[in-house]
């Protein structure tokens, strides 16, 4: 079993773990506060599922990040370490959007009588929701500095394994980028799909069924794409590239769909979040096809 064995590998692991612990504690409190404030006996609507979905996804995002941090240190994957700093930036954007989305959801649910007027949910959680992006911003800067130190440390380790062969270094770098993209793609695709299925209840057509079917298929393809690349299986890699093109077309379609006047109301409770996840997935998906 791998354990960090240098100052900077320990620093990176501890920073990611402390960040996750701090954010998870805040998000868990917000989740509990919201759940206890709901008026019992009310019929479920999309809005009352919005906040639990945001918070659950946020919690999963940071737990997944800790796993990726351990994985990148174990593999000495410089690209993945840099990618994790960018991933943290994505979570910072998500945390900033979350503030506005949760405020809107709480106020709308209060107007509909779903939230107890005496619970004071928003005043209690407002400061905590401001603290979350501040914590993430601090750790983003710290992790970026540590990543810079790890870059030199891992570069020497890689040099010892593949010597100074420029062709091999280029191939190894390309491989690292591709595998890292697949790992980050997994979270953002899953995040988009879960939000769509749980919150967007007004879309119950062929498109909805296609989205459900896409979850296991996409997870399988992401795993197989990594497997085929490691084995240098050309037919498998070509199949993965074709499917990634289909995925890119799907996300562009969904992005356009969310802003069509006829469909805008269905996506309104989660449109900002879906947009951010769709855009990030498109950005990650495009280089995977190269």
Q: What is the pLDDT of residues 165-178, one digit of tens each?
A: 677 777 777 888 88
Band of the pLDDT at 286, cuts 50, 70, 90? low
Q: What is the predicted pLDDT for the residue at 163?
A: 58
User: pLDDT tens for residues 56-75?
Assistant: 888 889 999 999 999 999 98
Question: Rounded to whole angstroms, what are the CA distances from 219 to 172, 184, 214, 241?
Answer: 24, 12, 8, 15
CB-neighbour burial class of residue 215 (10 A; exposed 0-12, middle 13-18, buried 19+): middle
Judged by DSSP in three states, 115 sits in strand
User: pLDDT tens for residues 237-273?
Assistant: 888 888 888 888 888 888 888 888 877 666 776 777 7
- CA 277 – CA 6 distance, rounded (Å): 35
- CA 47 – CA 285 distance, rounded (Å): 30
**Where are the extended beta strands (E) located within 220-281?**
none
Band of the pLDDT at 185, cuts 50, 70, 90? confident
Q: What is the predicted pLDDT for the residue at 203?
A: 57
Q: What six digits make up the tokens of 204?
A: 């119950």
**Mean predicted lDDT score pLDDT of the chain:** 84
Sign for the CA dihedral angle at 270, 275, 277, 281 comes to positive
- CA 71 – CA 180 distance, rounded (Å): 10
Q: Which fold has domain 1-162?
A: Butyryl-CoA Dehydrogenase, subunit A; domain 3 (1.20.140)
Sign for the CA dihedral angle at 53, 59, 62, 66 comes to negative
Q: Where, residue-wise, is CATH 1.20.140 in the chain?
A: 1-162
Give the global pTM.
0.84
CB-neighbour burial class of residue 139 (10 A; exposed 0-12, middle 13-18, buried 19+): buried
Beta bridge partners of 38: 115
Decide if pLDDT at 151 tops 80.
yes
Q: What is the predicted pLDDT for the residue at 128?
A: 94
Tell me the percentage of the chain whose pLDDT exceeds 70: 89
Q: What is the predicted pLDDT for the residue at 207?
A: 67
Beta bridge partners of 191: none
């Amino acid at each position: 079993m791998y354990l960090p064995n240098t100052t900077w590998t320990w620093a990176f692991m501890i920073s990611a773990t402390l960040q996750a612990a701090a954010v998870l504690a805040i998000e868990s409190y917000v989740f509990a506060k919201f759940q206890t404030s709901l008026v019992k006996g009310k019929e479920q609507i999309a809005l009352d599922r919005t906040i639990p979905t945001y918070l659950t996804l946020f919690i999963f995002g940071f737990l997944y990040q800790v796993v990726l941090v351990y994985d990148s240190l174990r593999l000495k994957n410089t690209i993945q370490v840099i990618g994790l700093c960018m991933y943290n930036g994505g979570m910072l954007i998500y945390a900033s959007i979350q503030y506005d989305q949760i405020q809107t959801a709480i106020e709308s649910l209060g107007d509909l009588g779903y939230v107890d007027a005496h619970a004071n949910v928003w005043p209690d959680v407002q400061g905590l929701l401001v603290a979350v992006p501040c914590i993430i911003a601090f750790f983003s800067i710290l992790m970026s500095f540590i990543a810079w130190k790890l870059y030199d440390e891992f570069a020497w380790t890689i040099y010892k394994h593949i010597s100074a062969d420029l062709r091999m270094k280029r191939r190894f770098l390309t491989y690292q980028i591709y595998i890292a993209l697949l790992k980050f793609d997994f979270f953002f695709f899953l995040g988009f799909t879960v939000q769509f299925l749980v919150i967007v209840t007004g879309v119950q057509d062929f498109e909805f069924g296609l989205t459900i079917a896409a979850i296991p298929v996409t997870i399988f393809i992401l795993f197989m794409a990594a497997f085929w690349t490691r084995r240098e299986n050309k037919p498998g890699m070509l199949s993965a590239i074709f499917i990634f093109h289909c995925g890119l077309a799907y996300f562009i379609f969904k992005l356009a769909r969310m802003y069509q006047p006829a469909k805008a109301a269905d996506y309104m409770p989660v449109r900002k979040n879906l947009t951010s996840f769709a855009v990030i997935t498109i950005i990650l998906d495009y280089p995977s096809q190269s």
